[in-house]
Amino acid sequence: MGKYIAKRLGALVIILIGLSFLTFSLTYILPSDPVQQLIESMGGSHDPVVMEKIQDEYGLDRPFIEQYTDWMIGVLHGD
C-alpha cells in the first residue's frame, strides 16, 4: 500500500510541475506587453528608457527558462 501511495505522489508532483510550466508558458506567449500595460495604468508615457528599466527590474529581459525558474521559486516560497 505504501508503494502505491508513493507512486501516486510521485505522479502528482510531475503533473503539478507540468501544469505550472504550461501555465507560465501560456502567460509568457500572450501578445500583450506587461511593461507597457503597467506604464499605461500609471498614466505614464512610452519612454524606452523607462520601459527598459522596468523590464530589467522585473527580470523580463532574461531568457524564458530563467524567468520560469524564478517564478517557480517564488511560487514555492508563497510569492
Mean pLDDT score of the chain: 89
**If DSSP codes are grouped into helix, strand and coil, which group holds residue 77?**
coil
Per-residue pLDDT, averaged over 44-67, amounts to 87
pLDDT at residue 30, as a whole number: 85
Rounded Cα gap, residues 25 and 60, in angstroms: 14
pLDDT at residue 68, as a whole number: 94
**pLDDT tens, position by position, 60-74:** 889 999 999 999 999
Assess whether pLDDT exceeds 80 at residue 45. no
Cβ neighbours around 15 below 10 Å, total: 10
Which stretches of 1-79 are DSSP H helices?
A: 2-28, 34-41, 48-58, 64-76
Per-residue pLDDT, averaged over 16-26, amounts to 94
Cell triple for residue 76?
514555492
Output 32 or 3, whichever has higher pLDDT. Answer: 3
